[in-house]
Amino acid sequence: MKSLPQERKPRENRLIMPVLACWCIAMTSAGTAEDLRHAGSTLQPAIDVLHYTIEVTLDMVGGMLSGRVTMTARLNIATHQVVLNAACLTIDQATVNGEIWSASLDSLQETLTLRAPGAGRAAGETVLVAIDYRRLPGINRPGGRWGYYFFRDTIGIPSNLGYTMAEPSDARFWMPCVDTPTDKASAELLVTVPAGYVAASNGTLLGVTSAPGNTTIWHWKESHPIATYLISITASQFTISTVPFVRAAGDTIPVQYYVWPSDSAECAAYLPTVRAMIEGLGEIFGPYPFDKYGMTAIVPFGYGGMEHQTITTLNRFLKTDENVVVHELAHQWWGDLVTCGTWKDVWLNESFATYAEALWAEQKGGREALRHYMRSALEHFYYGSWQGGPYDPEGQGFNLFDDVVYSKGAWVLHTLRGVIGDSLFFRSLDRYRGLYAGKTATTEDLRAVVDTVTGRSMGWFFDQWVYGHGWPTYASTFSWAPDTLTVRVTQEQSTSWPTFTVPLQVRAKNGLRDTLFVITPDARIYVTNVPLSFMPSSVILDPDSLVLKQIVTRGSDRHAATADKLGLEQNYPNPFNPVTTIGFRVPGVKIGSGVSGLGSRWVKLTVYDLLGREVAVLVDEQKPAGNYTVQFDGSGVASGVYLVRLQADGRTAVKSMLLIR
């Protein structure tokens, strides 16, 4: 998933509106939702879903969703009851192998318990669980967790729109299921909509048939294992554009865009670029793994994009944004084919997809384009979440989809690549994909793969960079005596952060004479002598930007490297009701190679709704360089997602925030 970008250029914030999650794994005796959530994937569920058949009818006027979910499932233990995930649904009937079982819905715990009228079922038995249900509009749902969203054309969109959006654990709000990424199954969807509507979904389209009541049934089949949060339906009066992608001789798949007619020409013209992305990422990650690749472009949508398996949902305003498109496409390998084992491991989805943006830049423009992309990500040092590690953001007090799992996590992967080298890095990715294709993986699974491929323990790297806090801040001096260069490196990051031991390339240069060597600073003060036959005029740490770090100069502001960057912080608290605080930074004026705090810029800070309508202007005045905070009072507006936009000197930064009453 990718949030609305912070700026209209590559490498910006991916912090999204937080979605409050609550885990419930199918068990014979369910603990509390909080207990099960923190237990992650270590629990043995009572039921293993092998296949979902989802038959739903979408009322494209009133917004109701109704249907039947049929699960082919294996019982892991003998049981007289099955506990599934469901919330805020009306359950009409539940059967197991055609026998009616009682159904008890607990929306607080987000569970649906089915109980046998008799002795129950044996361990190892495969059963057919069928549930008839309805999702009624107008029912209050906690924390904005709708699962299914419906909008009328009366709000200014081209036609009525219904879509699912379930990451991380909101599928239970639109269908009964086992709503955990560890339980992947194949799926078949039969979506009934009024004639003239298109229902895009996962996998291969088996057919579109007419049905009673002037309706049509769109029949989709996803043969590959899929997690429930990736199951998707998007329905509106779309046009469909298609180009073929030849994956191999005799193997051609469709690349498609489902959009409103007014967007059709632009998106159809963009599809060859998407096809080139599929080919390019396939050269890096292995052949595209599914039977089609489709995209929809919609609004209102509170995110930049969402990587639903084979059918990405994009924000209409970003429908041809290169980084958003390639990010969601990369998720087809990292997140969809290989899925994070627990939500603590979400960086395995998001960091990989974010780093894929850098790899795509590298493939098009070479190493310099890669360096430019990664250096631009250093603008994110001022984000509070960067002080944490990519693993388990919520356990560190951050949002599940905070920037620590996007930009910082991408930098951690880039640093790993720099440490072990290109060959071993891409061999590790290939082995990781091969072992866990169609399955889920944890951070420790990835570490074990890297250990195996490199032939050495990489626990030190994961401890410092994935599980640990912060980043190194280096200062260096050098001196030269005949034939010897002395390099002194100090680590000046917070004492609460680790002393990093990552290898660093060093370039010593004087005119045409240039040499490159490697040091490994392993102490807060590190001194080494290196044989060198010439007196260097410069000594540069990490000249190719292979390592996540900051470089400071004695007597200078250690944050000067980012002082010339426009900064918009995530509002706090978020979600909020009704007042929240927004922080922002006005950049200084560049003077030569430094940054001056003098001067001022005209700054405008505005709040919009998701349709782009102005809600409030918080700042609209000349301001000197510096850090500021301002409050937004949402007392007079409805609950929902709002965008806050900062503009200064031709640059723009955007964040999303969630008002919940």
Q: For the domain covering 563-659, report its CATH number.
A: 2.60.40.1930
Q: Shortest CA distance to 51 belongs to which of 67, 72, 31, 80?
A: 72
Structure tokens at 594: 């430094």
Task: Convert 398-409 into a string of H (helix), E (strand) and C (coil).
Answer: CCCCCHHHCHHH
Residues in contact with 310: Cβ distance below 8 Å, sequence separation at least 6, in sequence order: 202, 203, 222, 290, 291, 292, 293, 294, 332, 336
- Alpha carbon 119 to its chain centroid, in Å, reads 44
Q: For the domain covering 22-233, report its CATH number.
A: 2.60.40.1730
Structure tokens at 30: 């369910």
pLDDT, mean of residues 151-174: 97
| Contact call for residues 81 and 120 (beta carbons, < 8 A) | yes
| Contact call for residues 141 and 132 (beta carbons, < 8 A) | no
pLDDT band at 14 (very low <50, low <70, confident <90, very high): very low
* Strands, E assignment, 76-110: 81-85, 90-96, 99-100, 102-106
Q: How many CB atoms lie within 10 A of CB 650?
A: 7
pLDDT band at 219 (very low <50, low <70, confident <90, very high): very high
Q: Shortest CA distance to 585 belongs to which of 577, 597, 574?
A: 597
Domain boundaries, the chain: 22-233, 340-466, 473-560, 563-659
Give the containing element (helix H, strand E) for 364: helix 347-377
Whether the per-residue pLDDT at 182 is higher than 90: the answer is yes
Residues in contact with 140: Cβ distance below 8 Å, sequence separation at least 6, in sequence order: none
Q: Shortest CA distance to 632 belongs to which of 613, 656, 600?
A: 656
Q: 555 or 136: which carries more pLDDT confidence?
A: 136
pLDDT in tens, 574-621: 778 898 889 888 876 443 333 334 456 789 999 998 888 899 999 999
DSSP per-residue codes, 164-189: E--TTTTGGGTS-B--STT--EEEEE
274 by Cβ neighbours in 10 Å (0-12 / 13-18 / 19+) ranks as buried
Q: Find residue 315's DSSP bridge partners.
A: 298
pTM higher than 0.95, yes or no? no
Q: Specify the pLDDT at position 554.
A: 56
CATH class of 340-466: mainly alpha
| Contact call for residues 318 and 654 (beta carbons, < 8 A) | no
Whether the per-residue pLDDT at 64 is higher than 60: the answer is yes
pLDDT band at 141 (very low <50, low <70, confident <90, very high): confident
Q: Find residue 66's DSSP bridge partners.
A: 57, 134
pLDDT band at 417 (very low <50, low <70, confident <90, very high): very high
Whether the per-residue pLDDT at 327 is higher than 90: the answer is yes
CATH class of 473-560: mainly beta
Q: Is the dihedral of CA 545, 549, 553, 558 positive or negative?
A: positive
Q: 605 or 625: which carries more pLDDT confidence?
A: 605
Q: Tell me whether the CATH fold assigned to 340-466 matches the one assigned to 473-560.
A: no
User: Cα(512)–Cα(525) distance, rounded to whole angstroms?
Assistant: 31
Q: Specify the pLDDT at position 565.
A: 67
* Strands, E assignment, 446-524: 473-481, 484-491, 504-510, 513-519
Which residue bears the tokens 């250690």? Answer: 558
- Alpha carbon 323 to its chain centroid, in Å, reads 13
Cis status, amide bond into 244, omega within 30 of 0: no
Q: Specify the pLDDT at position 559.
A: 38
Q: Find residue 609's DSSP bridge partners.
A: 642
pLDDT band at 526 (very low <50, low <70, confident <90, very high): very high
76 by Cβ neighbours in 10 Å (0-12 / 13-18 / 19+) ranks as middle
Which residue bears the tokens 């102490």? Answer: 523
**Among 62-76, 306-320, 630-644, which is the least confidently predicted range?**
630-644
